Amino acid sequence: MNLTEEIRNPVSDLAAASPDDETWAAPRWALGARATVLWGLAVLGFLLLCYRPLDPTELMAHLSYGDWLLQHRALPAADPIQPLAAGMPILDASWLAQAVLATVERAGDGAASHAGAGWLAALFALLRLAGAALLLSAFRRVSGSWAWGLVGLALVLAFAGGAGGPWETLGPATFGALCMAFLLRRIASFEADQQGPPTPGRGAFKELAAAAGWVVLFALWANLHVSFVLGLAVLALGAAGKGLEALSRRRERPSSAWRSLVIDRPFRRWLLFAELAAAATLINPYGIELWLHVWRLRSNPNLAGMPAWQPLSVEKAGGWAFALAIAVLLWAFLRGSSRRRPIPVAQALWGIGLGLAALAAAGLLAPCAPLFVLILLPQFAALLDDLTSGLRAEGAAGRFGRWASGARERFGFLAEPSWHKSVLALALLWAAFVLSPVGASLLRGEARPPERAFSASAPVALAGYLAAHPPRGLTFMPTVWADWLVRQGPQGRDRLRPFATTEIEGLPTEVWQDYLRIAGGASDWQRVLDRYGVRTAIFDREAQHGQIQSLRYAEDWRLAYEDDRSFVFERTAPTSTKGGKL
């Protein structure tokens, strides 16, 4: 099925329309076999994802901020978690996502004790499935088949693999990934509409609705996650590409450059949508300061050392996938093919612009991966089509085709839309609800313990100890544990005062550098602990053996707790002179 056919029959696979549509008994909502199978797979995927332990790193920090937002019904003017960030400017760019996460967790905890984690897992599953469905649909649109759509999804995961990001963890980036999927789905439809014949009845109202769609999408995105700038870049580069295409057509239709742009409808539409999107992102509590915040992130010295901000390396799985994709693309071009479609200028600009960005900062690969796949997929499809044309000529495809048509004749009745399948889909939906953590908490009052709800990286036992023995004063601990311990450790007035959490962009540079000195065991790490007046120090048994051994024998520290992963030391009263120089 080619692209135009797809556009003309956009829902042909899901619900076959019939002349009896107007009667209540007509199978308007009757599902076909393919839709039922897809639905079943989605339910299965939902349940699998629901019971996948959540990674607590960063999620806990966002939940803490979300709790603060819900409690105070205001945006924080200062970092509410990290005492050493006092006075630093703060811009909570993900406030909406944090509030949603905290609300879902509260709702879960309200349904049954400790069920919040299960509800978050269900939210994660829904977000990922929705994102995958949107991407699948977008990829199908550009490639012309469901199979290639699935290949596209696999490629997205391959690109994102090793780079972490929204496909691995729950957080504001997950919402950002969903927004990116929405954007690509709309772009795929938009491009298809432009390539296809004019749609009858598409009037000003529909144009207005489309514009409103962009506004809503970007207004939400800007309040959910900073990745909205990638979306803006996609639209801006798209408009630039359309503009270049319009200018290139001057050879065919001589006119002034300005006039060429003015009369080019695709360019004007893309530009308008880009402008609407940009304006929509200003609908946030910080206004244009949000843009400046994103601009400043690139020069934040605390982030410069993080793996996500390092150049893309082939040592990572995502880097390998990226390099392989580029190699295949180049090969396809050099080899030449009659089926290969020219890459539109806009897509070339996306590939070059965001590709270079991802090369410079590996963390951009995951959020940009769907876009890269959108560009590459039609080329890969054409290349494979070209390569397999010989096989088809030899009859391999013919044998498969005969087998497939035979199967269709024998089992075709199963593929017909029917109410039975719709009922089955409803039953699957009910099963998904009952079997999910949400259903378990609402119907049976059950909740999974934290050890099972979260991945093994969560220091559950340590949190229990700290809750029973609240540390005094500033507490040093690995940032990957800090988020968890702040939420699961002592609460109220005894709440932990961490040296640093994973929200490092808001920390003063010197504090972050000093954190690294202590965590990395620099020669003066104990003096740094003294300088900050750290009263309790928590170290990772595996990664910080040197620090643990030093404090074991230090006269002003005592070992308060240890388990198979962590050591907790408490400072004793000073017993000797350490200063004294004038």
Partner 1 sequence: MSGIATSGPSTRAARFGGLSLGLQLALLAGAASWGVWQARADLGSRALPPLRTQPYAVPPLYDDPAVVADQDLARVLPRLGLRGKGAQTVIGHVEHGLRAWGPGVQFADPGFLSGPDMMHVLLNNWRFVSTYGPSQRSLLYAGSDGRATGSIGRQDEPGVRVRVLEGVASSPHVDHLLATLGEVGTTLDTSIVAPGQPTSLRAVLEQSLRTFDLNQAEYEWSSLAYALYLPPTHAWRTSEGREMTFDRLAERLMREELPRGVCSGNHRLHALVVFLRIDDRMAKEGAPRILSPASRRQVISYLREVTAMLVRHQHPDGFWNGDWPTSAPAQAEPSGRIGDRLSDRLIVTGHALEWWSLAPPEILPPRAVRAAAGRWLVRTIDGMSADQIQANFSFLSHAARALAQWRGSTPAEILARGAAKG
CA torsion through residues 62, 230, 301, 362, sign: positive
State the amino acid at position 36 in one-letter form.
Answer: T
Please state the closest distance from residue 241 (CB atom) to partner 1, in A.
17
Q: Which is nearer to partner 1, 59 or 500 (CB)?
A: 500
For every residue of 151-172, which 3-state class applies, written as one string? Answer: HHHHHHHHHHCCCCCCCCCCCH
Q: Which is nearer to partner 1, 175 or 291 (CB)?
A: 291
Please state the closest distance from residue 68 (CB atom) to partner 1, in A.
19
Identify whether the C-beta of residue 316 lies closer than 8 Å to the C-beta of residue 326. no
Please state the closest distance from residue 357 (CB atom) to partner 1, in A.
18
DSSP 271-288: HHHHHHHHHHHT-STTTT
Please state the closest distance from residue 286 (CB atom) to partner 1, in A.
10
Q: Which is nearer to partner 1, 338 or 576 (CB)?
A: 576
Q: Which is nearer to partner 1, 13 or 530 (CB)?
A: 530
DSSP 10: T
Residue 105 class from Cβ within 10 Å (0-12 exposed, 13-18 middle, 19+ buried)?
buried
Q: Which is nearer to partner 1, 120 or 346 (CB)?
A: 346
Q: Which is nearer to partner 1, 259 or 335 (CB)?
A: 259
Whole-angstrom distance, CA of residue 61 vs CA of residue 501: 7
Q: Which is nearer to partner 1, 128 or 571 (CB)?
A: 571
Please state the closest distance from residue 437 (CB atom) to partner 1, in A.
42
Identify whether the C-beta of residue 532 lies closer than 8 Å to the C-beta of residue 507. no
Whole-angstrom distance, CA of residue 63 vs CA of residue 71: 12
Structure tokens at 464: 């229990």
Supply φ then ψ for residue 476, to 5 degrees. -90, 135
First to last CA, the chain: 84
Catalogue the long-range contacts made by 65-71 (C-beta closer than 8 Å, 24 or more residues apart). Answer: 65/92, 65/94, 65/95, 65/98, 65/102, 65/503, 66/98, 66/99, 66/100, 66/101, 66/102, 66/103, 66/105, 67/102, 69/95, 69/98, 69/99, 69/102, 70/99, 70/102, 70/103, 70/106
Whole-angstrom distance, CA of residue 554 vs CA of residue 500: 24
Whole-angstrom distance, CA of residue 329 vs CA of residue 436: 42
Q: Which is nearer to partner 1, 104 or 246 (CB)?
A: 246
Please state the closest distance from residue 288 (CB atom) to partner 1, in A.
5
Q: Which is nearer to partner 1, 231 or 319 (CB)?
A: 231
DSSP 446-468: ----HHHHB-TTS-HHHHHHHHH
Please state the closest distance from residue 279 (CB atom) to partner 1, in A.
8
Q: Which is nearer to partner 1, 390 or 533 (CB)?
A: 533
| Site residues for partner 1 per CB under 8 A | 84, 86-89, 252-255, 258-259, 261-263, 268, 271-272, 275, 278, 288-289, 291-292, 295-296, 299, 508-511, 514, 530-533, 571, 573-582
Q: Which is nearer to partner 1, 295 or 430 (CB)?
A: 295
Whole-angstrom distance, CA of residue 502 vs CA of residue 307: 13
Please state the closest distance from residue 16 (CB atom) to partner 1, in A.
42
Please state the closest distance from residue 268 (CB atom) to partner 1, in A.
7
Please state the closest distance from residue 108 (CB atom) to partner 1, in A.
37
Identify whether the C-beta of residue 53 lies closer than 8 Å to the C-beta of residue 453. yes
Please state the closest distance from residue 577 (CB atom) to partner 1, in A.
3
Type and span of the H or E element at 406: helix 396-415
Identify whether the C-beta of residue 248 lies closer than 8 Å to the C-beta of residue 240. no
